[in-house]
Amino acid sequence: MKISKTYYVYIMTNASDKVLYIGVTNSLQRRIFEHKHKLVKGFSEKYNLCKLVYYEATNNINSAIAREKQLKNWRRQWKMDLITAKNPGFADLNIN
């Protein structure tokens, strides 16, 4: 019997909602913890990404990667519209 995994495409932002970061992971809880505690050096640390504002789940890693690439190629306004459709106040969807 094959066990199904869940993969997440997510969007993080900083306290002022100016920077958007799109990523994909198989453990949303772990990955958000890493962002919030600056455990991985790089973009998220530099821009102080601290709020999870959007995520989608799928059981197919290829679909998750394709969706991540699609969202990264979107205009900023389209990303903002996607977020505000489900999270109008840009609340932190803290799952930790």
Q: Cα angle vertex 96, ends 10, 2, to 5°?
A: 65
DSSP state of 2: P
CATH numbers and ranges of domains, the chain: 7-86 (3.40.1440.10)
pLDDT band at 7 (very low <50, low <70, confident <90, very high): very high
Task: Look up the pTM and report it.
Answer: 0.92
In whole angstroms, what is the distance from residue 83 CA to residue 68 CA?
Answer: 14
> Amino acid identity of 78?
W
**Which tops the pLDDT comparison, 8 or 40?**
8
pLDDT tens figures, 39-96:
988 998 899 999 999 999 999 999 999 999 999 999 999 999 999 999 999 999 987 6
Tokens of 91: 């609340």
